Chain A
Amino acid sequence: MGLADRAVGFLLSFISLSIFTYYTFWVIILPFVDSDHFIHQYFPPLEYAILIPVFAGVTLLFFLCVFIGMVILKSKKKKP
């Protein structure tokens, strides 16, 4: 039980740290690097650095609203 918790915790922190480093590199460091450096081929163009978080946020909001709606519908069905 404790081991599974620790594994999930480690996975979460690892994902968080990797997202942090990749995104920091992408948004802050890469614009200062010359455009013919080889590192640029590992990163998509900069518009995606805005599109992907916005898309993820909108998806999150969407699932949240759907979940709340389903809960409300379920509770209304039980009442009468």
Chain B
Amino acid sequence: MRHVIKIITILVAISAIWIGLLQTAVIPNSHTWLLPIYLVVLLGCYGLLMVGVGLMRFPTCPQEAMLLQQDIIEAKEFLKQKGVDFGSD
């Protein structure tokens, strides 16, 4: 709930700034009308950038992967003896 309220307050603040900019023509009005769409595109770009950076910095642990495979093989052997049916592999 708190998160939603935070997001809503941020949205209200941004729209207040936008309407304020519209009323007092500090920036020419044609500019101000494009601002929300620009912000949305900026947000999408930022999300894409975070995904790309996260992908690039994702740590793979090769030793852990090997140990995990060994664990899986051991568990399969053990459970096969006990009679559990492994249909797919």
Contacts and interface: CB of A to CB of B under 8 A. Distances in A.
Interface residue SS majority, chain A: helix
A53 B16 CA distance: 23
Contacts of A2: 58, 60
Interface residue SS majority, chain B: helix
Contacts, number: 71
Interface of B: 28, 30-31, 34, 37-38, 40-42, 45-46, 48-49, 51-58, 60
16 contacts: A1-B60, A2-B60, A8-B52, A9-B52, A9-B55, A9-B57, A12-B49, A12-B51, A13-B53, A16-B48, A17-B45, A19-B45, A20-B42, A23-B38, A23-B45, A31-B30
